[in-house]
Chain A
Amino acid sequence: MRLVLDSNEYIAGFGDRPDLPPARLLAYFVARPEEHEIVLSHTIVEEVRRNLLPDAFGDFWAFLALFGVIPVEEWEIPASLLAKYRAAGLKSGDAAIAACAEAMGADAVVTENRDFHGRTGLPFRPLRAEEFLKEQGETSG
């Protein structure tokens, strides 16, 4: 499965909140690295950089490098996709994430951002970390 992990997942995970689902999500990818492909945009990288201290950001960056993840450049995302998601009612920042997911052919966006959930007609599935892990057969705790 090709996945976009939203910034909130990385920030909670690399900010060391073991009580929250994103920490388990990161551990899951390490345990089963061949089952999914992670894609992300420079927007996500910048959001993580702005919300974590440098040491935690460095760990996030090194972690993604180990998975062979190369951030998608903004120019690689068609402006028409951004306009499409803005017209669909997403805020500009969220529209950029949705456009990246569609441009990269993502199957799902793992996010705790409620603005993605409950929407219909998206070409990818918005999933919370807990939902994703449950689908993969990972039990909580």
Chain B
Amino acid sequence: MPLITYREAIKQALAEEIERDENVVIMGEEVAQYNGAYKVTEGLWEKYGDDRLIDTPISEAAFSGLAIGASALGIRPVVELMFMSFSYVAIDQLFNNASFCRYMSGGLMNIPIVVRGPANGGTNVGATHSHTPENMIANHPGLKVVCPSNAYDAKGLMKTAIRDNDPVFVMENTLLYGEKWEVPEEEYTIELGVANILKEGTDVTIVSHGRCAIISLDAARVLEEKHGISAEVVDLRSIRPLDEETILKSVRKTNRAVLVEENKPFCGVDAQISHMIQYRAFDYLDAPIHRVSAIDAPQIYAKDLENWQLPNEERIIASVLKCVG
């Protein structure tokens, strides 16, 4: 299987879907002539032209709303936000119109759009460009949100998202764009709402998503080697819909849970998961559920401090030891 980058995997998904469905249109800032601010769409404009790759002005609210309106008449827009942080200037469109038009029309409408772009910190750019709003998105019934942690998932989930008849947010990660994974050449898709067990274990379940799942996996290996603790790592892939059964099955086996995410802790994704575990697997728990989130402050600029603010191997290991010990 060829090793390709996370960036290349997403590009392949976009190109394949453009070729599969004449109504798939990519739009966003710098996506066409400039080849993408993060080069995810590199070469696509040259190959598919102005109709399929559309450069937009810096007007997130207008082009997000335009995509929603166009989707009502059968277009399948894939909207790139240069950063998911920029969804904040388009909140009325993305969080009112995309999520609620179907409901308020009593099911007469549906909004088949994809909103994609990086949602991560750790890049030394300060608080305004480091949001991870998957919790906010998941708080809006009508929206779906996925957080691929690797190239294989990024491609498979992106293709499914584009074919989905509801609005799906795909949360990417600039720190993963250049990383490589094995991705098959033949076509595949990955269903939404299905978690992936990255590593099996018996002593504790680590639940995570996005890049944090990769860090959790690294932490789990250290825990195994240095501390003799067998951790199972569940990569959620999809936040809404959420694969609750895989989480519960794992926790019922290990009797302990540590939840790791890049979100700030208050009302983070893991707050919901923590509630769900205690409600549905209370009798199986041998210890309180532990959480490792971003340290609860606006994202700091200083690189060394930001690296500590985000969940890292050291903090995850400390939390697992506390939970198990």
A joins B in a complex: no
